[in-house]
Structure 1
Amino acid sequence: MTEQHREDGAGTARVRHDEAARRFVIETDGVDAGFAAYRERADGAFDFVHTEVDPAFSGRGLGGTLVEAALTRSRELGRTIVPHCPFVAAWLRRHPGFVADVDWPDDAA
């Protein structure tokens, strides 16, 4: 399980890769606060399909932290990123450094 940590005035955030559930999970102060789910394609790409942060944790930037950690780990694993999730697609548009690792689906480009 891979983890990435972030500390700020809102507490400590940790992102872990739950391979069995095919999702990256963000927790803050020991509580799961959200996830980014993906499908693993036959070619090994991670097709991100849904990102969700519990409304109780909104406004803390956890969605961005989660997606950045998930996509960074995907790259480290050599996986192509397929952004079907609108939140992931929007994050990628704001961070063009990931472009080489992205296979844009026709409905998200």
Structure 2
Amino acid sequence: MSDITVRHNPERSRFEILDRGNVIGKAAYQDYDGGASPQRIFYHTVINEEYGGQGLAGKLAAVALDATVQAGTGIVPVCPFIKKFVAKHPEYSDSVVAVAPAHLEFLETALASRARA
């Protein structure tokens, strides 16, 4: 497991976890600027099935959330995994922004336009 790394891939709006350079999971987000300050809506986290049960989703989430906080960006936890993760890790509580209907509408529109592209 020493070849496991996490990287930010802003061009694809996601953080990726890799094994020997191959993407084995991701935490997808959409940046949102409709709030009082910049926010990042995390909407999907997944680890390839064969890598399950190794704590990799938690490692991915920690790196993604730490980078988001360091950037001064709020965390909007739409993804069920990220929502549970921030609930278990109070160090993120000052950066968590409650999910609002505006976030969901923005996310739906953004993902639909990305699907058409």
**TM-score interval, normalised by the smaller of the two chains:** 0.7 to 0.9
Q: Where does residue 38 of structure 1 map in the other structure?
A: 29
Deviations along 1:31-61, whole A, 9 cap, x unmatched?
Answer: 2110000011124210000001000111111
Rounded to whole Å, the distance in 2 between the matches of 1:60 and 1:82 is: 25
1:67 Cα deviation after fit: 0.2
Q: TM-score under structure 1 normalisation?
A: 0.84
Q: Where does residue 103 of structure 1 map in the other structure?
A: 97
What stretches of structure 2 of length at least 5 have no aligned partner?
102-117
Q: Which one of the candidate residues 18, 40, 49 is aligned to 1:27?
A: 18
Bigger proportion of residues as helix: 2
Rounded to whole Å, the distance in 2 between the matches of 1:59 and 1:94 is: 18
Deviations along 1:54-93, whole A, 9 cap, x unmatched?
Answer: 0011111110000000000001111000000000000001
SS of the residue 1:47 aligns to: strand
Q: Which one of the candidate residues 36, 43, 55 is aligned to 2:49?
A: 55
Q: CA RMSD in A?
A: 1.4
What stretches of structure 1 of length at least 5 have no aligned partner?
1-9
SS of the residue 2:3 aligns to: strand
The percentage of counterpart residues that share the same residue type is 32
Runs of 4+ in structure 1 displaced over 4 angstroms?
Answer: none
Rounded to whole Å, the distance in 2 between the matches of 1:65 and 1:83 is: 16
SS of the residue 1:59 aligns to: coil
Q: Where does residue 107 of structure 2 map in the other structure?
A: none
Q: Where does residue 18 of structure 1 map in the other structure?
A: 9
